[in-house]
Amino acid sequence: MLFGTDGIRGEVSNSPSNDEDAVSQLLEQRCISTRLMRLVGEALSRIVDIGSNVIIGWDNRPDNPDLVSSLTTGLHLGGCTVTHGGVCATPALHNALLETKSALGCMITASHNPVTDSGIKVFDSSGFKTSPELEREISELIIQLAAEEREVDLIHQQELSEPDSHFNADLAHQELLVVRIAEFSGQFSHPQHIELTVDSSKGAASNWLAAFLNQYGITATEVSINAKALNENCGAGELSPNDSWTWEEAARSEHILINSLSRSPPGKIIAGALDGDGDRCLLIESTETGCRVVDGDEMADHILRSAKGDWHLAASIESDLALVSSLDRLQAKVRFSQTAVGDRWLSQALRNSSSNILGVEDSGHLVMSAPNPNGGRCLVGDGVASMLIVLCAMSCEDRVEAFEKGFKQRTSIKNSVRSRWTGDNSLADTIEHIATSKLGPMKRHGLIGEANLMLLEIDGISIGIRNSGTQAKTNVSLRISPGFKNADAIGAVEQIITTLRETLVD
């Protein structure tokens, strides 16, 4: 399987001399090359009809133009036509896919990963990310193509690497956001007298987001335009849900956004950060002594506190249980679903819902309904739209009081040998024993979409262990609902983390 949690990602490397080595580089070293991307293009061409159009968008990583050219070549070799959407955010590519009625959409990005990385996210003709079943099929096709003894006619390589047409995905995205802010303002309220520092991670929005917000009365200043490179000391990818700073610590921070902030009255949203490909957002709020991250869970809660009518909320297993335990306090009637980690699972849980919908991950992914240019609605995660809807919701006068927060902790065990954690092996049994010895018998289960997830739950306490799909790390999450003051759970997780580090890290 060549795909991780969200597409294929890896460090960009020099292209090897043959196709099999290109696949081996990805499997063994998590490296991406132009040769691999040509293979991806050929494989994708085999899952659609001959002559189908595929649209490609990309973020402004330095190696992406070459990867885009190679992907275009592979798609042309397989008989597809190709449209280039240009430098844009992932939600812009999603919208462009629907506007052009393309068979597939390919976003060349590694999201919040370092600028030396890249990769690909694939969307189907309806705008949904590829399923694990389809990813296995694509992976098998790539491996089969690489193993074939074949001659690839690259005599006209320059011609093959050129698109058949162009579409300005970035501009179309801005036009869509005009419609979306009108919807949010009508559903909630128009933002009033807000001053905001924005950090677009030096992505596509860094060139226009501040001016866009200023048109709607939000006085905004963009800071990531001064960053050295995409995602380098900027953006949501450099922030964690539980981060907070005193003003003195903020002034010393290497993060461009945090370092740029100045003292403000407590309780105000003073900044917003997008990740590198613009599909998620984290907000920054001033506190009595400094500032802190407002994560995706809390952003969703701001929306629900102002919501009315029927809603369907989907949240990943790493989201705060407080959202679930306090749903009955809302004016809205909310149905809840728990999903695996990854915004595609949020979309799948919400796909057939007729209610107002909201999918949430604490990393800042909010999946919401958006206008489909072909009529009806579609589902998409869009960092700018997430920022806008929260600001609109917070401007409502008729809001439910803030909920009592639970406890949330996530620890990443870095440089882990992920094959040693499967969620159902002897190591998983050992971890379950540690937890139950501290907390008593717990329900142990997994979730569709998380093959290696082990979830342990008891009376408002949840412990989850899963491998990262894109990096060499294993994540341990602890969630405790409001009202449950359980030091034993914290102690159990500390012991679990120690055991996993000793076992997973060489």
Dist. CA 300–CA 431, nearest whole Å: 32
Q: Where residue 470 falls among pLDDT bands split at 50, 70, 90?
A: low
Cβ pair 341, 477 in contact under 8 A: no
Statement to judge: residues 235 and 352 lie in one domain: yes
State whether 258 and 381 are in the same domain. Answer: yes
Q: Give the pairing type, strands 244-246 and 165-166.
A: unpaired
Residues contacting residue 215 through CB under 8 Å, at least 6 positions apart: none
324 and 432 together in one domain: no
The CA distance from 172 to 170, in Å, is 6
CB atoms within 10 A of CB 299: 26
Count CB-CB contacts under 10 A for residue 69.
21
pTM: 0.90
**Same domain membership, residue 444 and residue 386:** no
Q: Determine, yes or no, domain membership for 3.
A: no
Domain assignment of residue 125, yes or no? yes
Comparing CA positions, the residue from 346, 364, 309, 283 lying closest to residue 187 is 309
The pLDDT of residue 324: 66
pLDDT, one tens digit per residue, over 1-51 is 788 878 999 999 999 989 999 999 999 999 999 999 999 999 999 999 999
Number of domains in the chain: 3
> Which tokens hold the place of 41?
């293009």
Kindly state the average pLDDT of the residues 178-206.
Answer: 95
Q: What pLDDT digit, counting tens, does each position of 403-450 carry?
A: 777 788 889 999 999 999 999 999 999 999 999 999 999 999 888 777
User: In what order do the strands lie in the sheet containing 473-480?
Assistant: 407-414, 473-480, 461-467, 450-458, 443-447
Considering the domain architecture, whether residues 295 and 248 belong to the same structural domain is answered as yes
Question: What CA–CA distance (Å, rounded) separates 45 from 152?
Answer: 15
Q: Order of strands, edge to edge, in the sheet holding 377-381?
A: 333-339, 310-316, 356-360, 366-371, 377-381
Domain closes at, from 404, 419, 450: 404
Residue-wise pLDDT for 265-321, tens only, equals 999 999 999 999 999 999 999 999 999 999 999 999 999 999 999 999 999 888 876
CB of 376 closer than 8 Å to CB of 465: no
- The answer to whether residue 1 is domain-embedded is no
Q: Look at the block and give the residue holding tokens 């973020």.
A: 59
Total Cβ atoms within 10 A of residue 353: 17
- Give the DSSP H or E segment for 256: helix 256-260
148 pLDDT tier (thresholds 50, 70, 90): confident
Asked if residue 316 and residue 301 are part of one domain, the reply reads yes
Cβ–Cβ under 8 Å, residues 103 and 49? yes
CATH number, domain with residue 421: 3.30.310.50
Q: Which residue has the higher pLDDT, 208 or 459?
A: 208
Question: Domain range for residue 84?
Answer: 8-167
Residues 350 and 390 in one domain: yes
Q: Is the domain of 359 the same as that of 236?
A: yes
Do 75 and 145 lie in one domain? The reply is yes
Query: Do 31 and 83 belong together in one domain?
Result: yes
Residue 32 burial (CB count, 10 A): 27
In a domain, 388, yes or no: yes
For residue 439, is it within any domain?
yes
Residue 217 lies in a domain: yes
CATH number of the domain that residue 395 is part of: 3.40.120.10
- 2 located within any domain: no
Claim to verify: residue 338 and residue 227 sit in the same structural domain: yes
- Of 404, 439, 474, the residue that ends a domain is 404
Q: End of a domain among 404, 423, 456?
A: 404
Query: Are residues 320 and 191 part of one domain?
Result: yes
